[in-house]
Structure 1
Amino acid sequence: MKKKILIVVVATLLLLIGSQIHFDIPVADIERTWALPESKFLDLNGMRVHYTDEGKGENVVLIHGTAASLHTWREWVKTLKKDFRVVTLDLPAFGLTGPSPDNDYTIPNYVKFLEQFFAAMKMRQLNLVGNSLGGQIAWRYAVAHPDNVNKLVLIDSAGLPRIGSIPLPIRLARMPVIGSLAKYLSPRFLVKKSLKQVYYDDAKVTDALVDRYHSLALRAGNRNAFVERSRQMTPDDGSGLDKISVPTLIMWGQHDTWIPVEQAANFRKKLFLGQVVIYDNAGHVPHEEIPEQSVADALKFLK
């Protein structure tokens, strides 16, 4: 009897695991689904970098965070492109750009990637906007290239000693066995759970939003790259922030559970020309959750 129960339990677990296995979506298929009418592609170091380039005026570059894509900025672009040249891009490991051939997802290598991207685009004198991981890359670029950055906007930015626990998806990816399984198992419910963590208003986590994040995660190579990126993450002490002398707007969701709002004040203490806006109706991605309100503040600052 016990043997039969054990067989049933094992069989049930195998069925549950099997039900969560998702095959990679081929690049051509994922591009047909998620490329925008404004999408462009640039061959750079063995990658087909996905980006958009809209509007005219001063350069504004929008850099997304972990597990996101340039789609996260679409509502901001609609407003900003009336006054600026606005460039968005999918970072290596994410979106339609996909994995980097060198498998290096450290912050210094992301800064190097931006250097090469801007050179290929012939872009100088930049206003950089970054959320989470994108914020850390943006301010690290500003430290390395102070003469090429006019203004910074940091939205719930990473890059200071961590407060609180590491987000669940990253913790799972770092685990030896589970991280390896994560390259094949991609439960939609886990994507939905993560979005509910980064949003303050659960009602805004729609099926369409979950589908986009889940589908782009399945782009061939992205899951393996996410695991590698998670394992290559190292603590950042924020050194160099005090060398940034350009005006900086720090934007934060009061209800951010991934990078607590206390970090906004910590960034302000280190930045010479930093100003802070806190949103009591947003979480980790105010540019996506409350786009009209947040872009109005960014526009006022940039103009």
Structure 2
Amino acid sequence: MVKRILAGTATLILLALAVIVISVVQFDVPREQLVGKYATGASQFVTLPSGASAHVRDEGNPQGPVLVLIHGSNASLHTWEPWVAELDTTYRIISMDLPGHGLTGRVPGDDYSREGMATFLDELMSTLKVERFSVAGNSMGGGVAALYTLEHPDRVSSLILVDAAGIPVERDEDDVPLAFRVASMPVVSSVMRYVLPRSMVEEGLRKVFVDQSKVTEEMVSRYFDLALHEGNREATRIRFSAYAARNEEAFAARLGDIEVPTLVMWGDKDGLIPVSAAYEFKKRIPQAELVIFENVGHVPMEEVPEESAASVRAFLAGVEAEGTTPPETAPAE
């Protein structure tokens, strides 16, 4: 009798564990299942020389100056939609999902470093036959934009850094999203290839906004779904595993070599990359203009789109007035 009770209890425990595992394990989702939901009429998939298939939107005024937008870590080109809505009558706006993100997904060679992403950007612009442009980057994308400007000064007419990475900073670990902390743990991060609670995605989003009303169910669902795009979680693991070896001091020391007109904009309540980094960017890039938004977090383009886009418009108008307007490129096909 006792043996039967123990056996029955063990079976119940195993069943309970199976239910728990099934409820938290999330398998990769093929691109085809996500395209219909997250690609729009402006979306295209561009095959690059490296073999990567880049999800790109090329929209706005096809005859206008080109503005290229680079999103941050674990985001996607959707983060720029508010700016596109504000600026598309004036500018030709090109946004893309970086390697290991959005609908681009994992890329051949698995290079998700800042250098790899700058190479990806260069391949994309060359494939689109865009020779010269302004480039804006948020967070991780800001570091990519700055590096690209350093390596290809002949192609960049102006640089916009939005709560950008690239300056060594000290931060309160409590302000860092749990997903980022887990992804930085060598052993535990492997679990995220199979387990990704939706609550963790939501927690991360809430930490980058001051105005919590901006974090909608639709936004959380999009971030969650695109995180499950085939290969994205493995790409994230690879990317975060390399962070510890990155020499941010050496990169920051190069920022003084940036000579193009530069706009640095920041949310003063950014906990992920504190506003002190904004002043450091300004110090290291002497010609940079600085705009600080009050009571705003890590993504001003989403939290205060009208105000931040107005700053971009004024900055670019000034660049154009000084005669550094990029020459016309072939309009988007």
Shift of 1:75: 1.4
Task: Determine whether 1:222 maps to 2:232.
Answer: yes
Task: Determine whether 1:133 maps to 2:140.
Answer: yes
Q: Structure 1, residues 109-129: CA drift from partner, whole Å, max 9, x if none?
A: 111111111111111221000
8 Å Cα contact 1:172-1:178 kept in structure 2: yes
Cα distance in 2 for residues equivalent to 1:3 and 1:265: 65
Task: Determine whether 1:49 maps to 2:61.
Answer: no
Cα–Cα, structure 1 residues 52 and 29, in superposed 2: closer, same or farther, change >3 Å? same
Q: Which amino acid aligns with 1:220?
A: E
Which residue pairs with 1:285 in the alignment?
299
Q: Which amino acid aligns with 1:277?
A: V
Identity percentage over the alignment?
39
Q: Which of residues 31, 38, 54 in structure 2 aligns to 1:34?
A: 38
Which residue pairs with 2:248 in the alignment?
236
8 Å Cα contact 1:56-1:81 kept in structure 2: no
Q: CA RMSD in A?
A: 2.1
How do residues 141-156 of structure 1 correspond to structure 2 at under 5 angstroms?
141-156=148-163
Cα distance in 2 for residues equivalent to 1:259 and 1:7: 49
Cα distance in 1 for residues equivalent to 2:131 and 2:22: 49
8 Å Cα contact 1:25-1:220 kept in structure 2: yes
Which residue pairs with 2:327 in the alignment?
none
- How many corresponding residue pairs? 303
TM-score between both structures, scaled by the size of structure 1: 0.94
Q: Structure 1, residues 46-68: CA drift from partner, whole Å, max 9, x if none?
A: 22111011143111100000011
Which residue pairs with 2:105 in the alignment?
98
Cα distance in 1 for residues equivalent to 2:27 and 2:35: 16
Q: Structure 1, residues 58-87: CA drift from partner, whole Å, max 9, x if none?
A: 111000000111111111112222111110
Q: Which amino acid aligns with 1:266?
A: E
* Bigger mean CA deviation after superposition, 106-115 or 137-146: 106-115
Q: Which amino acid aligns with 1:194?
A: G
Which runs of 5 or more residues in structure 2 are unaligned? 318-333
TM-score between both structures, scaled by the size of structure 2: 0.86
Cα distance in 1 for residues equivalent to 2:205 and 2:13: 31
How do residues 53-202 of structure 1 correspond to structure 2 at under 5 angstroms?
53-54=58-59, 55-165=62-172, 167-202=177-212
Cα distance in 2 for residues equivalent to 1:241 and 1:270: 6
Which runs of 5 or more residues in structure 1 are unaligned? none
Cα distance in 2 for residues equivalent to 1:38 and 1:295: 20
Larger Cα Rg: Structure 1 or Structure 2? 2
8 Å Cα contact 1:172-1:179 kept in structure 2: yes
Shift of 1:202: 1.4
Cα–Cα, structure 1 residues 278 and 6, in superposed 2: closer, same or farther, change >3 Å? farther
Secondary structure, counterpart of 1:302 in structure 2: helix
Q: Which of residues 257, 260, 263 in structure 1 aligns to 2:274?
A: 260
Cα distance in 2 for residues equivalent to 1:125 and 1:17: 50
Shift of 1:6: 9.9
Cα distance in 1 for residues equivalent to 2:17 and 2:276: 41
Which residue pairs with 2:26 in the alignment?
22
8 Å Cα contact 1:162-1:235 kept in structure 2: no
Cα distance in 2 for residues equivalent to 1:170 and 1:31: 26
Shift of 1:4: 10
Shift of 1:155: 0.3
Cα distance in 1 for residues equivalent to 2:172 and 2:143: 18
Shift of 1:190: 0.4
Secondary structure, counterpart of 2:253 in structure 1: coil
Q: Which of residues 244, 257, 261 in structure 2 aligns to 1:247?
A: 261
Cα distance in 2 for residues equivalent to 1:253 and 1:126: 25
Q: Which amino acid aligns with 1:46?
A: G
